[in-house]
Amino acid sequence: MTFKAAAQKEIDKLYKGRHHVELSIGILQNGDSSCSYSGVTVLHDDIAADNPAIPLFLRHGFAEEYRTDEIVMLRKEL
């Protein structure tokens, strides 16, 4: 196992399934967030095509812009 793979495995143990994506999206969508103060009107996120969190982003209002073999590009208007 490579160092990168071992590190990812440890990170997954600590954070996977702990709702960090939901919390982060909620903070970004909040009208009091730095996004609204800085004039950000659109969020983009490229996610690995095999990432099981894609439906989570879709449930929170992101839309799929395009997909390749490696990534799914998601977009959300704020």
Where are the alpha helices (H) located in 1-78, listed in sequence order?
3-15, 20-29, 34-38, 54-59
Write out residues in the chain with pLDDT < 70, as ranges: 1, 4, 7-8, 11-20, 28-36
Alpha-carbon separation of residue 60 from 7, 24, 69 (angstroms): 29, 11, 23
Measured CA to CA, the distance from residue 60 to residue 18 in angstroms comes to 16
- Regarding pTM above 0.85, the answer is no
Q: Which domains does the chain have, with CATH numbers?
A: 13-77 (3.40.630.30)
